[in-house]
């Protein structure tokens, strides 16, 4: 494609014309995006303070996070396309979201981030540029931070190549080996890996990379997530945490067991 600068310009131009696809998805819906948002809701800690979204597109996902998940977090949403940024600002404004046109491979994002989200973005990073991205993410991720990403599976990419349509200007394969290399490059480990069936069997992959997984620590609020086996607490759950209620419940269970065994 030429020099790196020429490739970047071509990518920007491509995604500037991609906004019509985002609008179509917003009007008619997109099953992949629906699965993606559900994954975010199950994996992003509500108490997160700083969230970086790389490749924010129409802004739908960023807005969903700000409105429904981490309601007090500061969010920085990056996209290489000025058209996408303009659309996101118009369609999904939020007081906690800053939209910014930037190529993460060449831009200068600063700070430490509790959560970094790449929603169907990593496959659009050239294989030759992955180590560059890994180095940037390594510097940006906080000590207990996590990277959340969704990617098409290699079999889905193979299907699209055979179909002759559906692939974007850069659309690489991302397999487990590539994700292990990513985890190593950013100084984290794969904490969650699952195939998701959107349109076909196992056509997408949802992944969480986490730091601070090598030592056994007490459970924190960051662990109380559906993706880690914790369902959203019900009203009954909170009721049963009242000391007097818990005391009476314990007494009743003890009495019932003794009665059944007598």
3-state secondary structure 83-147: HHHHHHHHHCCCCCEEEEECCCCCCCCCCCEEEEEEECCHHHCCHHHHHHHHHHHHHHEEEEEEE
Q: What is the pLDDT of residue 260?
A: 87
How does residue 114 score in pLDDT terms, banded at 50, 70 and 90? very high
How does residue 4 score in pLDDT terms, banded at 50, 70 and 90? low
What stretches of 17-103 show up as alpha helix (H) in DSSP? 19-28, 31-43, 60-64, 82-91
Residue 1 has pLDDT above 50, yes or no: no
All residues at 6 or more sequence positions from 125 whose CB lies less than 8 Å from its CB, including other chains: 105, 133, 170, 172
pLDDT tens, position by position, 20-47: 888 889 999 999 999 999 999 999 999 9
Residue 2 has pLDDT above 70, yes or no: no
Note the pTM of the prediction, 2 decimals: 0.85
Report whether 52 contacts 109 (CB < 8 A): yes
Q: Computed from CA positions of residues 227, 33, 101, 171, in that sequence, does the dihedral angle turn out positive or negative?
A: positive
Q: What is the DSSP string of 206-222?
A: EEEEESS-SS-----GG
Residue 13 has pLDDT above 80, yes or no: yes
Residue 130: closest CA among 64, 196, 186, 54: 186
pLDDT tens, position by position, 174-233: 999 999 999 999 999 999 999 999 999 999 999 999 998 777 878 877 777 877 877 766
Measure the CA angle with vertex 56, ends 50 and 27; round to 5°.
Answer: 130
pLDDT tens, position by position, 55-105: 999 999 999 999 999 999 999 999 999 999 999 999 999 999 999 999 988
Between 217 and 139, whose confidence is greater?
139
Report whether 196 contacts 35 (CB < 8 A): yes
Measure the CA angle with vertex 32, ends 228 and 226; round to 5°.
Answer: 15
Q: What is the pLDDT of residue 51?
A: 99
């Amino acid at each position: 494609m030429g020099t790196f600068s020429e490739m970047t310009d071509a990518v920007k131009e491509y995604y500037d014309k991609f906004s019509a696809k985002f609008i179509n998805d917003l009007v008619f819906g997109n099953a992949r995006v629906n699965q993606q948002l559900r994954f975010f809701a199950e994996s992003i800690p509500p108490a997160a303070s700083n969230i970086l979204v790389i490749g924010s597109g129409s802004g739908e996902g960023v807005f969903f996070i700000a409105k429904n998940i981490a309601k007090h977090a500061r969010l920085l949403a990056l996209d290489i396309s000025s058209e996408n940024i303009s659309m996101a600002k118009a369609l999904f404004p939020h007081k906690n979201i800053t939209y910014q046109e930037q190529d993460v491979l060449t831009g200068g994002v600063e700070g430490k981030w509790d959560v970094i989200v790449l929603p169907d973005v990593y496959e659009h990073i050239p294989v030759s540029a992955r180590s560059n991205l890994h180095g940037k993410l390594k510097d940006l991720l906080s000590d207990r931070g996590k990277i959340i990403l969704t990617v098409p599976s290699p079999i889905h990419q193979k299907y699209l190549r055979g179909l002759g349509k559906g692939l974007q200007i850069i659309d690489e394969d991302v397999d487990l080996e590539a994700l292990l290399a990513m985890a190593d490059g950013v100084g984290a480990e794969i904490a969650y890996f699952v195939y998701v069936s959107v349109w076909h069997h196992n056509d997408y992959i949802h992944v969480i990379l986490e730091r601070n997984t090598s030592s056994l620590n007490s459970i924190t609020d960051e662990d109380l997530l559906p993706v880690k086996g914790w369902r959203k607490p019900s009203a009954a759950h909170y009721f049963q945490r009242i000391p007097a209620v818990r005391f009476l419940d314990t007494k009743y269970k003890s009495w019932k067991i003794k009665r059944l065994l007598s």
